[in-house]
Amino acid sequence: MPSRRELANAIRALSMDAVQQAKSGHPGAPMGMADIAEVLWNDYLRHNPANPNWTDRDRFVLSNGHGSMLLYSLLHLTGYGLPLEELKNFRQLHSQTPGHPEFGYTPGVETTTGPLGQGLANAVGMAIAERTLAAQFNRDDFDIVDHYTYVFMGDGCLMEGISHEVCSLAGTLKLGKLIGFYDSNNISIDGEIEGWFTDDTVKRFEAYGWHVIGGADGKGIDGHDADAVKKAIEAARAETERPSLIVCRTVIGYGAPNKQGKESSHGAPLGEDEIQLAREQLEWPHPAFEVPAEIYAAWDAQTRGVALESDWTVKYNTWKKSYPELAAEFERRQRGELPENWADTVATYVHTCADKGETIASRKASQNTLDAYGPALTELIGGSADLAGSNNTIWSGSTTNSADTPAGNYLYYGVREFGMTAINNGLALHGGFIPYGGTFLIFSDYARNAIRMSALMKQRNIHVLTHDSIGLGEDGPTHQAVEQAGSLRLIPNLSVWRPCDTVETAVAWQHAIARNDGPTALLLSRQNLAHQPRNEAQLADISRGGYVLVDGDGEPELILIATGSEVQLAADVARQLNDQGRRVRVVSMPCTDLFDAQDSTYREAVLPTSCRQRIAIEAGSADYWYKYVGLDGRVLGMRSFGESAPASDVFEYFGFTETKLIEMVDAFTAN
């Protein structure tokens, strides 16, 4: 039987060989954390390589994702569908082994990591998901949801501010089945960290309310001592009221005699000569990419994994017989499917909004929509970054999710925009939930990289972003969003909606909830928005992202394109001009990406190429809109930051009035 060190050395060898062959990568972290990973994966991790999507598997997150070869080696050795050829293709085009772990590319990878700290945040979300599902579906006699979330992290993860946001919240929520391993090797890319990172990590996490295993001297256990690692994991698993952090002292690049413990092993291949010396020091005499059969046999987790899932399935089927309705709901949520009556619920509410014709802020319309859709969606879980009363993210069916009430569907995130968004990514990745999180649109800048990650991973995460323009008013330019709408629209696979009234808001939520291949940003107003009258065809066309809202007689001579609060301005001006015999069309464009996805016939019908005179109107950055009006068109938009004043004064100052728009039309069409 191979020794633990030999099993760990298989990780080291595969990692340094793959990085060397790619001539790119990070061998140091995999070589330093190999002993920790060996104990965790062989003795504790409950997973099934034959079914990477087993519902009750433990989740493993490599937050220090630059050490991706650690995870790829583990997946290969334990029997996932990741053949040796893929390790040899590390960092090559279309391989299953990208430079950082990417969700959806490699079986067994739970989340995309690389932007440091976000994997840790995702893990917090996964731990919340596990505990909430357990509270909602477990019964006294059956624990059908019962798994751990394990996360590896490095110095870089703990330097990033998001680590403070999410670990503070994790301690408050008492996530006892979240276990983190801090790879304390004192090295980052620039060298020894004493010059820029001297935090007392043990005291820091104890202050968060974590259970910290820091060794007798507080500097960590020996991360290369399998017995010490095993003892620490046992202690962490025994603690049920607090998340646990195991501080592990390791040597980066362990086994490479001239580069171990140095930054030279962090982010570059070791070199052929150093690899040969490492093979000698590690007593690994095998050629590159060669692992002996007995080591593969000792690592293989397929038999154990199948048995674990089989035992769980027996328990699950017994539970299902006792609670058939609960089981049907659980299975629907795990499949990510919406309730059978979903289409009817939406249609009824959209028509109700059309009939009522309310003039209210779209943030309030959003809350009303949650009241209408929420009762049908037990998987809906949301929160706000300390702005619940402004974002209107609490609806009538909201119940608090806390350490004492884990079954709730509403999380109070505190002032943690970035952490909230990344945690919600973890909730979505775990499965069984549709998460949403609210803040002001201006603070999407704080959350930007997590929003980007939700788009990259194609996760159904709904970003509720209120106070969407200079219409915010008195709080002034620090809070008035100008460039945010346009920049969000530039993120691939992020669907951005800026609705103009209650009806468009209801349709926007419908699409956000139904969309299962990516996130949605809802940009919502603080100020009241007037209802826009529509016929049935127009109601249906909202779902196309852009549609004709107002039209003159015959082919249009001028098209006004608007979103959100500016649709009313465009509609009022168009009706005045049409009454004068002009032919002015208003296109409401609540979702540009959805409009762009329509077939050319529809897009031509809405924005005919024969009409070259076009003006776009949005109280945000003007530059984005030239793709629709052309270089010869006009944009009534923002080319500066806002001003502090009541909203009506700000709009007037920047020219968002009927008088100014008519002047622009006259000057434009006179040429």
Residue 569 in marked binding region:
no
Is 221 among the annotated ligand-binding positions?
Answer: no
227 is in an annotated binding site: no
Query: What is the gyration radius of the CA atoms in the chain, in angstroms?
Result: 28
> Do the annotations mark residue 617 as ligand-binding?
no
- Dihedral in degrees, nearest 10, Cα atoms 112, 117, 121, 122: 10
417 is catalytic: yes
Strands (E), 415-469: 434-440, 462-466
Tokens in use for 242? Answer: 């607090």
| Identity of the residue numbered 624 | Y
Per annotation, catalytic residue among 110, 263, 417, 504: 417
User: Can you tell me whether residue 492 is helix, strand or coil?
Assistant: coil
Residue 211 known to bind ligand:
no
Q: Do residues 500 and 532 make contact, with C-beta atoms less than 8 angstroms apart?
A: yes
Asked whether residue 467 is marked as a ligand-binding residue, the answer is yes
Buried b (16+ CB within 10 A) or exposed e, 636-652: bbbeeebeeeebeebbe
- The verdict on whether residue 47 carries a ligand-binding annotation is no
CA–CA gap between residue 10 and residue 5 (Å, rounded): 9
Residue 264 marked as a ligand binder: no
Task: Please tell me whether 116 is known to bind a ligand.
Answer: yes
The pairing of strands 410-412 and 380-384 is parallel
Which two three-digit tokens encode residue 366?
A: 């959003």
76 annotated among ligand-binding-site residues: no
Yes or no: say if 306 and 312 are a contact pair by the CB < 8 Å rule.
Answer: no
The verdict on whether residue 526 carries a ligand-binding annotation is: yes
Cα 136 from chain centroid (whole Å): 23
Task: Flag whether 363 is marked binding.
Answer: yes
Which tokens is 79 given? 């029997």
Identify the three-state secondary structure at position 34: helix
The reply, when asked if residue 479 is annotated as ligand binding, is yes
Look at residues 111, 166, 150, 99 and name the one whose alpha carbon lies nearest to residue 454. 111
Distance of alpha carbon 415 from alpha carbon 68, whole angstroms: 31
Q: Is 463 annotated as a binding residue?
A: no
Label residue 466 left, alpha or beta by phi (over 0 means left) and psi (-120 to 50 means alpha): beta
CA nearest neighbour of 266 among 252, 276, 251: 252
Q: Where are the alpha helices (DSSP H) in 431-547?
A: 444-456, 484-489, 502-514, 536-541
Two tokens at 624? 């984005």
Judge whether 156 is annotated as a binding position.
yes
Q: What are the distances in angstroms from CA 635 to CA 471, 559, 625?
A: 18, 12, 7
Residues in the chain: 671
Q: Which residue has the tokens 């052929």?
A: 272
Residues within the annotated binding site for substrate? 26, 266, 363, 390, 467, 475, 479, 526
Residues within the annotated binding site for thiamine diphosphate? 66, 114-116, 156, 185, 266, 443
Residues within the annotated binding site for Mg(2+)? 155, 185, 187
Residues marked as catalytic: 417
Residues within the annotated binding site? 26, 66, 114-116, 155-156, 185, 187, 266, 363, 390, 443, 467, 475, 479, 526
